[in-house]
Amino acid sequence: MDTISVLVSTALILMIYSILYRENPAFRLAENILIGATVGHSIVVGVFQVRDLALSKFISGIQTGNIRDIAYIIPMTLGVLIYFQFSRRYKSISRISIAVMLGVGLALSTRGLLFVNVIGQVKGAMLPLNNIKNIVYTFGLISVLTYFIYEERASKMAGPLPKVGRYLLMLTMGAYFANAIMGRLSIVIGTLNTLLMSPSCYLIPVALLLIVADLFIRTKVAKVSKT
């Protein structure tokens, strides 16, 4: 990466980190730049996808007379119709496009979830009850599912199962929390790796000076307004 790119990206990183000091215009500017950049990138990618996946096939279909390729006019039309979402009067038309996407998505996820999440996991849970570990895991899973489905409404026959399930879920939340910390730290480490390299590191004292100056000015202003 060339020097200008490094310096610009470092400045943007420090502008974002400035929120840790306090809310300020530099952070808001960087935030809005990110929103604009992300949206612009999505549009560019979307347009190229339509060009490569549909438009080129439709044009070749017209040239060769292939019906299946000419039929690509349908998804292109449906894609345009989805923008009727923003019209108060003709909003309902966009539902057709949503219906196609939703229908495909639901069918794909249904068949996948059934085999992976339900059948696959239940199969994996069918452990031979020939040692303490397997007995604990099986009893634990039943407790968790009992708590999930019935919560506090479980009958007295369920005994301690829902309560045990709740405790096991707390344990699981602890695992999620520990991993969330590890994940976020990894991201900060990646950013700091960039910041601590030359020439990025030379901007850090500049940022610190600006913060100290701001602190000094605000303290002075507070003192003057008190007197």
Q: Exposed, middle or buried: residue 116 (CB in 10 Å: 0-12, 13-18, 19+)?
A: exposed
Q: Is 217 in the site for other proteins (CB under 8 A)?
A: no
Pair 44, 29: CB distance under 8 Å:
no
Q: Which of 59, 62, 129, 196 binds other proteins (CB under 8 A)?
A: 196
Q: Cα dist. 42→9, 32, 39, 208 in Å?
A: 20, 15, 5, 35
Q: Which is nearer to other proteins, 65 or 134 (CB)?
A: 134
The radius of gyration of the chain's CA atoms, rounded to the nearest angstrom, is: 29
Q: Which is nearer to other proteins, 157 or 207 (CB)?
A: 207
First to last CA, the chain: 52
Pair 145, 168: CB distance under 8 Å:
no
Q: Which of 59, 62, 113, 221 binds other proteins (CB under 8 A)?
A: 113
Q: Which is nearer to other proteins, 156 or 226 (CB)?
A: 226
Q: Is 18 in the site for other proteins (CB under 8 A)?
A: no
Residues between 34 and 63 with contacts to other proteins, criterion CB under 8 A? 34-50, 52-54, 56-57
Q: Which of 132, 187, 222, 224 binds other proteins (CB under 8 A)?
A: 187
Report, in Å, the least distance between residue 153 CB and other proteins: 16
Tell me the site size for other proteins, rule CB under 8 A. 125
Token pair for 77: 């039309």
Element (H, E) at 211: helix 203-226
Q: Which of 63, 86, 152, 153 binds other proteins (CB under 8 A)?
A: 86
Q: Is 203 in the site for other proteins (CB under 8 A)?
A: no
